[in-house]
Amino acid sequence: MPNPSDPRPLDVAAGLLALLKETTTELRPDAQLEALMLAVSADLPVLLWGEPGIGKTAALTQLAEALELPLTTVIASVHEPSDFAGLPVVGDDPAVQGVPMAPPDWAVRLVRAGEGLLFLDELSTAPPAVQAALLRVVLERRIGTLTLPPGVRIVAAANPRASAADGWELSPPLANRFVHLQWSYDHEVVVRGLGGTWPKAVLPQLAPDKLPEAVAFARRAVCGLLAVRPALVHQLPKNEARRGGAWPSPRSWDMTLRLVAFAVASGTSREVLSMLVRGTVGDGPGLELLASLDRMDLPDPEALLADPATAVLPERGDLRQAVLDGIVEAVRKRPEQSRWDAAWSLLLRAWETGAPDLVVVPAATLAALRHEDWPVPPAIERLAGVVSLSRRADLAAVGVSR
């Protein structure tokens, strides 16, 4: 006979399950989690793409806990279009009052709470009719006659069509409303998480004094690129699979502008910004924008020529090459001996602090700009060996190829 004072087996099992659920968090670099937090902070709908079982749902649970928001999970594939568009309810006098569209209970709870995290799961298994009904939910935040309050954030998750159960490609109108993030697992994160310690989700800290500067920078960056690349304003992919991802449109560029502003105001890393930008307008346009952002951060050649002694050159080779080319171009446009001498001082500094081969072409071009009455500065003699050695190497390479 069992002892009545002994705990029931299921109570013991419940205790063990409770211990297994006890976990802690730690601050550690996690680019994809930072990207998700920044997009949520910017109040943009996010779509996490990833294979089944890699922790998308767990990440959303952790996100809701970090934001201290109630989590409402809606499995899109098991709902009817009317669950998002609203069910028609006939009132006392339809001819006068019309027929209102009654929202589902989960939408009512979100409105009553005034805030929350709406998680639309299994989006890629939702049939086209349901995807069409979700358009207003994602963009206008309307469900039937209800409008979700500003305190509600929307995040969705989807599996690639190849690994989704009866999967569908996302419709282009729905796909273009999301920031698409590729979600993958990190081996170390999984190991530490299973050991009881997961990365901590933290909202980006926006610097109040940087807000006007961040908005101005983001507008200048996006508008500057689209002004010279008008074809990037709207490019609907021809491939059906790519239409279900990130692609450029006025809507997605507006989302990108917001993300750039938030990234600047929070000092977000370039890796995180790259994930967000490419996940909003696509890889090609996103990389072009990132390249233009790099050029915007470059120092002004005129400022460098005015004070070469205190000049700070970029560390990255491609950016340093662009700066040196800009310096030589500035001298070519306004050739003066003082500016020519200053340019040589800058080239010498670049040679002393970086890869010497980056100086070869700018030095040869700058030497060709010399006027006959300009004396040769000492910097030329120190750089002459680099230029001469490079030319001999080029000639040797030509000889080998022949």
298-303-304 Cα angle (round to 5): 75
- Residue 83 to residues 131, 132, 149, Cα–Cα distance (Å): 12, 12, 18
Distance, CA of 24 to CA of 199 (rounded, Å): 9
CATH class of segment(s) 28-90+98-199: alpha beta
Report how far residue 229's alpha carbon sits from residue 364's, in angstroms, rounded to the nearest whole number: 32
Residues 329-373 pLDDT 10s: 999 999 999 999 999 989 988 888 877 888 888 888 888 888 888
Tell me which H or E stretch contains 222: helix 211-228
Q: 8, exposed or middle or buried, with CB in 10 Å at 0-12, 13-18, 19+?
A: exposed
Q: pLDDT tens digits for 79-136?
A: 888 888 777 776 666 665 666 777 888 899 999 999 999 999 888 888 888 888 898 8
As a 3-state breakdown, the chain gives helix, strand, coil percent values, each rounded to 5, of 60, 10, 30
Among 168, 131, 164, smallest CA distance to 51 is for 164
Q: Can you give the residue ranges of every domain in the chain? A: 28-90+98-199, 208-296, 301-401
Averaged confidence pLDDT in the chain: 85
Q: Residue 63's pLDDT band (boundaries 50, 70, 90)?
A: confident
Per-residue model confidence (pLDDT) at position 179:
97
Interval 368-391 mean pLDDT: 71
CA distance 26 to 202: 10
Flag whether pLDDT at 21 surpasses 70: yes
Distance CA 232, CA 253 (A): 9
Under a CB-based contact definition with an 8 Å cutoff, are residues 47 and 181 in contact?
A: yes
Give the whole-number percent of the chain exceeding pLDDT 70.
Answer: 90
Per-residue confidence band for 258, with pLDDT thresholds at 50, 70 and 90? very high
Mean pLDDT of the region 309-338: 88
